[in-house]
Amino acid sequence: RKEVEQDPGPFNVPEGATVAFNCTYSNSASQSFFWYRQDCRKEPKLLMSVYSSGNEDGRFTAQLNRASQYISLLIRDSKLSDSATYLCVGTRNTGFQKLVFGTGTRLLVSP
């Protein structure tokens, strides 16, 4: 089993829609969590950290469910500019944190 697993998509949604992505993780990648955004042929960029209490940043909400070992990202009022790949990231439970990436979920927002 992969340490971090995501549905690769693509998720095709119209502008203004609400879309949610889930990501599951294994025990070995369960220390801290992040969502990164990656545009085509560009580097990944941090979108938001994921806290146990859940956190919100504008139209984006991230939640963590440790009991079921998944994290989620909710995007409200989708914009065309939200089209990208969203990477779920966990960190290894070793002495030195190491980022472990999922394969990414591709989002396409259409007019």
Rule CB under 8 A: which residues touch other proteins? 4, 6, 8, 32, 34, 42-46, 49, 87, 91, 94, 96-104
Which stretches of the chain are assigned E, i.e. beta strand? Answer: 4-6, 11-14, 19-25, 33-38, 45-50, 55-57, 60-65, 70-75, 84-91, 99-101, 105-110
Sign of the Cα torsion 41, 42, 47, 50 reads: positive
Q: In terms of CB distance, is 31 or 76 closer to other proteins?
A: 31
CB of 20 to other proteins, least distance (A): 19
Q: In terms of CB distance, is 36 or 82 closer to other proteins?
A: 36
CB of 57 to other proteins, least distance (A): 13
